[in-house]
Amino acid sequence: QVQLVESGGALVQAGGSLRLSCAASRSIFSINAMGWYRQAPGKQRELVARITSGGSKNYVDSVKGRFTISRDSAKNTVVLQMNSLKPEDTAVYYCKAETSPYDYWGRGTRVTVSS
């Protein structure tokens, strides 16, 4: 089992930056992949960025070049650095850990980008 706690969400102006952190309750070495998802009001949850245990990364097209996912294995933390934020990035951001056979979710952190 893995508990995930997200932090770093805030209200920020368009063009600003935020750094989201996801702290895992155990070593992330044994976690197959970790990802950041987001859900805007009235919309489905979508993948934002994902990093595998091997270090492979993928991003949704709308954040490429602006967001960066990274992993700090010593701290059991996955970070999402978000730059050049846009109002359409407004959402609750969730961390997900993919293990075998279960996936685990955090409770989310809210990001609001004002225009």
Closest to 73 in 3D by CA, of 8, 26, 105? 26
Adjacent-strand bridge partners of 19: 81
Model confidence at 100: pLDDT above 90: no
Residue 87 burial by CB count (10 A; 0-12/13-18/19+): exposed, middle or buried?
Answer: exposed
Adjacent-strand bridge partners of 95: 36
Tell me how far apart the alpha carbons of residues 24 and 84 are, in angstroms, rounded to a whole number.
Answer: 27
Rg for the chain (alpha carbons), in Å? 13
Question: Are the CB atoms for 28 and 10 separated by under 8 Å?
Answer: no
Question: Are the CB atoms for 74 and 66 separated by under 8 Å?
Answer: no
Give 76's pLDDT tier (boundaries 50, 70, 90): very high
Q: What is the pLDDT of residue 73?
A: 85
Give 28's pLDDT tier (boundaries 50, 70, 90): confident
Model confidence at 29: pLDDT above 90: no
Q: What is the pLDDT of residue 89?
A: 98
109: part of which helix (H) or strand (E)?
A: strand 109-114
